Amino acid sequence: MYPKDIALIVMFSGIGPGSKIVEAGTGAGALTTALAHYVKPAGKVHSYEIRPEFIQNAQKNLEKAGLSKYVVIENKDITMGIDESNVDAVILDLATPWLVVPHAYSALRGSGAIVSFSPTIDQVIKTAEALRENGFVDVQTVECLMRGMQVELGRTRPETLMTAHTGYITFARKSVGQ
C-alpha cells in the first residue's frame, strides 16, 4: 500500500490517539504500522490475517518501528466474524470486503467508520452494495492519483512517470443512533 492511500484511509476513518481499530489483511504491516502510530499511546489496532508468514513479517516490521505494543495480530479469517465490539473503525485490505460488512456493522460503535481498499471496481461495487444493504450511510468511493512535478526555472512540468491507480478507497459510516 502506498503512502497516498494510507493517508486517505487514516483521514477517512477519523482515527486518532485512543482509537480502537479492527483491520484485516495485515500483509507486511505497512498500513498496520501507520494505524498504530495514530492510535498511540492509548489506542489499539486488532489486525486479522490468515497467512502465518505475513503475521511473522508484520510483527518484525512493527517491532522495528517501535509500535508492536499497540497492535494485536490475530491469525483469523475476518469474514467469519469480528471478536471486538464498540470499535471506532474497521479498515479492510482484502479480496472480499463485502463479506465483512455485516460483521463490521455489529462491531462498530454508532458513527464508526468502515474503510475498504480494493484494486478493482468489481470489488467496489459489491462492497458498496453490501454497505447500503446493511444500513451504512455516506457511502463514497475515491481513487487517489499522485503525480510529481519536475520543478526547474523555465522547465517546470509534470513528471513523465506517476503513481497512478493503486486502488479504490470506499468509506462509509454506521448511523449515529445504531
Q: Is the pLDDT of residue 16 over 90?
A: yes
* Mean pLDDT score of the chain: 95
Alpha-carbon span 30 to 79, nearest angstrom: 21
Kindly report, residue by residue over 33-76, the tens digit of the pLDDT: 999 999 999 999 999 999 999 999 999 999 999 999 999 999 99
Question: Does 177 have pLDDT greater than 90?
Answer: no
On the question of pLDDT at 25 being above 70, the answer is: yes
Q: Give residues with Cβ within 8 angstroms of 64, minimum separation 6.
A: none
Name beta bridge partners: 141: 170
C-alpha cell at 105: 456493522
pLDDT bracket for residue 178 (50, 70, 90): low
pTM, to two decimals: 0.93
Delimit the domains of the chain by residue range.
Answer: 3-174
Class of domain 3-174 (CATH, top level)? alpha beta
SS (H, E, C) 27-53: CCCHHHHHHHHHHCCCCEEEEECCCHH
| AA letter at 37 | H
